[in-house]
Structure 1
Amino acid sequence: MNSLGISGVSSVAGTGTQYAVALAAGAAGLARTAYPEPTPEQIVHRIQMTSDKLSDSQPSDGRFGYGMINLAAAVTKVLPEEAGGGTGNGDKQHLAQGVPSNRSAVPSA
Protein backbone atom coordinates (compact mmCIF):
# COMPACT_ATOMS: atom_id res chain seq x y z
CA MET A 1 0.00 0.00 0.00
CA ASN A 2 1.35 3.44 -0.87
CA SER A 3 0.51 6.32 1.40
CA LEU A 4 1.13 10.04 1.55
CA GLY A 5 2.12 11.03 5.04
CA ILE A 6 4.24 13.55 6.91
CA SER A 7 7.45 12.09 5.52
CA GLY A 8 6.14 11.81 1.95
CA VAL A 9 5.11 8.79 -0.11
CA SER A 10 6.13 5.42 1.27
CA SER A 11 5.19 1.76 0.96
CA VAL A 12 3.86 -0.33 3.79
CA ALA A 13 3.67 -4.12 3.74
CA GLY A 14 0.78 -5.56 5.67
CA THR A 15 -2.52 -7.34 5.56
CA GLY A 16 -5.80 -7.02 7.31
CA THR A 17 -9.17 -5.40 7.26
CA GLN A 18 -7.78 -2.03 8.33
CA TYR A 19 -6.64 -1.50 4.72
CA ALA A 20 -9.94 -2.67 3.23
CA VAL A 21 -12.01 -0.40 5.47
CA ALA A 22 -10.48 2.77 4.02
CA LEU A 23 -11.02 1.62 0.44
CA ALA A 24 -14.60 0.51 1.14
CA ALA A 25 -15.44 3.82 2.82
CA GLY A 26 -13.93 5.75 -0.09
CA ALA A 27 -15.88 3.65 -2.60
CA ALA A 28 -19.11 4.29 -0.71
CA GLY A 29 -18.40 8.02 -0.72
CA LEU A 30 -17.70 8.07 -4.46
CA ALA A 31 -20.77 5.98 -5.26
CA ARG A 32 -22.91 8.16 -3.01
CA THR A 33 -21.62 11.29 -4.76
CA ALA A 34 -22.38 9.83 -8.19
CA TYR A 35 -25.78 8.46 -7.09
CA PRO A 36 -27.13 10.55 -4.18
CA GLU A 37 -30.71 9.22 -4.34
CA PRO A 38 -30.22 5.51 -3.43
CA THR A 39 -30.34 4.29 0.14
CA PRO A 40 -27.14 3.23 1.94
CA GLU A 41 -28.18 -0.40 1.40
CA GLN A 42 -28.44 0.24 -2.36
CA ILE A 43 -24.97 1.81 -2.36
CA VAL A 44 -23.59 -1.29 -0.62
CA HIS A 45 -25.34 -3.47 -3.21
CA ARG A 46 -23.82 -1.38 -6.04
CA ILE A 47 -20.30 -1.80 -4.63
CA GLN A 48 -20.81 -5.54 -4.12
CA MET A 49 -22.23 -6.17 -7.60
CA THR A 50 -19.52 -4.15 -9.38
CA SER A 51 -16.61 -5.74 -7.50
CA ASP A 52 -14.16 -7.87 -9.47
CA LYS A 53 -14.69 -11.47 -8.38
CA LEU A 54 -11.62 -13.22 -6.96
CA SER A 55 -13.10 -16.72 -6.77
CA ASP A 56 -15.76 -18.84 -8.43
CA SER A 57 -18.08 -18.56 -5.44
CA GLN A 58 -21.15 -16.49 -6.14
CA PRO A 59 -22.01 -13.98 -4.91
CA SER A 60 -19.47 -14.08 -2.09
CA ASP A 61 -17.29 -16.42 -0.08
CA GLY A 62 -15.67 -16.45 3.34
CA ARG A 63 -12.20 -15.70 2.05
CA PHE A 64 -12.63 -12.95 -0.57
CA GLY A 65 -16.12 -11.65 0.15
CA TYR A 66 -17.55 -10.07 -2.99
CA GLY A 67 -14.08 -9.54 -4.47
CA MET A 68 -11.89 -6.53 -5.13
CA ILE A 69 -13.70 -3.19 -5.19
CA ASN A 70 -13.79 -1.71 -8.67
CA LEU A 71 -14.17 2.04 -8.14
CA ALA A 72 -14.72 2.88 -11.82
CA ALA A 73 -17.47 0.29 -12.17
CA ALA A 74 -19.10 1.36 -8.90
CA VAL A 75 -19.76 4.85 -10.28
CA THR A 76 -20.31 4.09 -13.98
CA LYS A 77 -21.85 0.64 -14.45
CA VAL A 78 -25.59 0.38 -14.99
CA LEU A 79 -26.89 -2.50 -12.89
CA PRO A 80 -29.57 -4.74 -14.46
CA GLU A 81 -32.23 -3.53 -12.03
CA GLU A 82 -31.49 0.09 -13.00
CA ALA A 83 -31.49 -0.40 -16.75
CA GLY A 84 -34.99 -1.86 -16.92
CA GLY A 85 -37.06 0.05 -14.43
CA GLY A 86 -35.20 3.15 -13.32
CA THR A 87 -35.43 4.44 -9.79
CA GLY A 88 -38.96 5.78 -9.89
CA ASN A 89 -37.76 9.33 -9.28
CA GLY A 90 -37.14 10.54 -12.83
CA ASP A 91 -33.62 9.17 -13.18
CA LYS A 92 -34.49 6.24 -15.48
CA GLN A 93 -33.04 7.86 -18.60
CA HIS A 94 -29.87 8.97 -16.83
CA LEU A 95 -29.27 5.62 -15.13
CA ALA A 96 -29.92 3.68 -18.34
CA GLN A 97 -27.25 5.82 -20.00
CA GLY A 98 -24.90 5.37 -17.05
CA VAL A 99 -24.95 9.08 -16.23
CA PRO A 100 -26.34 10.14 -12.85
CA SER A 101 -28.85 12.98 -13.06
CA ASN A 102 -26.58 15.31 -11.08
CA ARG A 103 -23.68 14.89 -13.54
CA SER A 104 -23.23 15.99 -17.14
CA ALA A 105 -20.70 13.20 -17.71
CA VAL A 106 -19.07 10.40 -15.78
CA PRO A 107 -15.45 9.49 -16.56
CA SER A 108 -15.22 6.20 -18.38
CA ALA A 109 -13.11 3.35 -17.08
Structure 2
Amino acid sequence: MNDRRGLRWIDRRAFLRRGGRGLAGAALLSAWGGGVSARFEAGRPQVAAVVTEFTYRSHAHVILENFLNPYLFNGRRTDPGVEVVSLYVDQFPARDMARAGGRGKSQSR
Protein backbone atom coordinates (compact mmCIF):
# COMPACT_ATOMS: atom_id res chain seq x y z
CA MET A 1 0.00 0.00 0.00
CA ASN A 2 1.26 3.43 -0.80
CA ASP A 3 0.42 6.79 0.70
CA ARG A 4 -0.91 9.62 -1.50
CA ARG A 5 -1.67 13.04 -0.04
CA GLY A 6 -2.16 11.65 3.43
CA LEU A 7 -4.85 9.17 2.34
CA ARG A 8 -4.36 5.45 2.77
CA TRP A 9 -4.70 3.69 -0.58
CA ILE A 10 -5.16 -0.02 -1.22
CA ASP A 11 -4.78 -1.90 -4.47
CA ARG A 12 -7.68 -3.39 -6.40
CA ARG A 13 -7.18 -6.95 -5.14
CA ALA A 14 -7.14 -5.87 -1.50
CA PHE A 15 -10.25 -3.78 -2.10
CA LEU A 16 -12.12 -6.73 -3.66
CA ARG A 17 -10.96 -9.06 -0.89
CA ARG A 18 -12.18 -6.69 1.83
CA GLY A 19 -15.42 -5.97 -0.03
CA GLY A 20 -16.10 -9.69 -0.43
CA ARG A 21 -15.57 -10.27 3.27
CA GLY A 22 -17.95 -7.42 4.06
CA LEU A 23 -20.66 -8.85 1.80
CA ALA A 24 -20.20 -12.34 3.25
CA GLY A 25 -20.45 -10.93 6.77
CA ALA A 26 -23.60 -9.01 5.88
CA ALA A 27 -25.15 -12.16 4.41
CA LEU A 28 -24.32 -14.14 7.56
CA LEU A 29 -25.76 -11.46 9.82
CA SER A 30 -28.90 -11.29 7.70
CA ALA A 31 -29.40 -15.05 7.91
CA TRP A 32 -28.61 -15.12 11.63
CA GLY A 33 -30.95 -12.24 12.53
CA GLY A 34 -33.96 -13.50 10.57
CA GLY A 35 -36.24 -13.20 13.60
CA VAL A 36 -35.52 -9.50 13.86
CA SER A 37 -36.43 -8.76 10.24
CA ALA A 38 -39.61 -10.85 10.52
CA ARG A 39 -40.75 -8.60 13.38
CA PHE A 40 -40.48 -5.53 11.14
CA GLU A 41 -42.21 -7.20 8.19
CA ALA A 42 -45.30 -7.92 10.27
CA GLY A 43 -46.08 -4.24 10.99
CA ARG A 44 -46.34 -1.12 8.91
CA PRO A 45 -43.08 0.39 7.65
CA GLN A 46 -41.76 3.10 9.94
CA VAL A 47 -40.45 6.34 8.45
CA ALA A 48 -38.89 9.53 9.78
CA ALA A 49 -38.89 13.02 8.29
CA VAL A 50 -36.30 15.78 8.52
CA VAL A 51 -37.59 19.20 7.43
CA THR A 52 -36.49 22.81 7.73
CA GLU A 53 -39.92 24.15 8.68
CA PHE A 54 -43.43 22.73 8.78
CA THR A 55 -45.97 25.42 7.90
CA TYR A 56 -49.30 25.29 6.06
CA ARG A 57 -48.79 24.62 2.34
CA SER A 58 -45.00 24.49 2.68
CA HIS A 59 -43.11 21.88 0.67
CA ALA A 60 -42.81 19.70 3.78
CA HIS A 61 -46.55 19.99 4.50
CA VAL A 62 -47.59 19.04 0.96
CA ILE A 63 -45.42 15.92 1.02
CA LEU A 64 -45.93 14.86 4.65
CA GLU A 65 -49.70 15.30 4.77
CA ASN A 66 -50.00 12.13 2.68
CA PHE A 67 -47.91 10.20 5.21
CA LEU A 68 -49.52 11.61 8.37
CA ASN A 69 -53.22 11.17 7.58
CA PRO A 70 -55.41 9.16 5.19
CA TYR A 71 -55.94 11.04 1.92
CA LEU A 72 -58.27 10.97 -1.09
CA PHE A 73 -56.99 9.20 -4.21
CA ASN A 74 -59.36 8.88 -7.18
CA GLY A 75 -62.24 9.76 -4.89
CA ARG A 76 -61.45 7.05 -2.34
CA ARG A 77 -59.99 7.41 1.12
CA THR A 78 -56.50 5.86 1.07
CA ASP A 79 -54.40 4.87 4.07
CA PRO A 80 -50.75 5.95 3.71
CA GLY A 81 -49.52 2.47 4.66
CA VAL A 82 -46.64 3.80 6.77
CA GLU A 83 -46.21 5.09 10.29
CA VAL A 84 -44.31 8.35 10.84
CA VAL A 85 -42.36 7.64 14.02
CA SER A 86 -40.13 10.71 14.09
CA LEU A 87 -40.25 14.27 12.79
CA TYR A 88 -37.26 16.61 13.11
CA VAL A 89 -37.99 20.29 12.43
CA ASP A 90 -35.11 22.78 12.37
CA GLN A 91 -36.94 26.14 12.36
CA PHE A 92 -40.16 27.27 14.05
CA PRO A 93 -41.64 30.36 12.35
CA ALA A 94 -44.83 32.08 13.54
CA ARG A 95 -47.05 29.83 11.37
CA ASP A 96 -45.45 26.63 12.69
CA MET A 97 -47.57 23.45 12.56
CA ALA A 98 -45.03 20.99 13.97
CA ARG A 99 -45.61 21.85 17.62
CA ALA A 100 -49.36 22.38 17.19
CA GLY A 101 -49.76 19.13 15.24
CA GLY A 102 -49.37 16.89 18.26
CA ARG A 103 -48.61 13.20 17.83
CA GLY A 104 -47.51 13.73 14.23
CA LYS A 105 -50.89 14.74 12.81
CA SER A 106 -51.09 17.77 10.54
CA GLN A 107 -53.74 20.39 11.14
CA SER A 108 -54.98 21.86 7.88
CA ARG A 109 -56.89 25.13 7.79
Indicate the TM-score class for this superposition, using the shorter chain for normalisation.
under 0.3
TM-score when normalising by structure 1: 0.22
Instruction: Give TM-score, length-normalised by structure 2.
Output: 0.22
Larger Rg: 2
Instruction: Write 1 or 2 for the structure with the bigger share of strand.
Output: 2
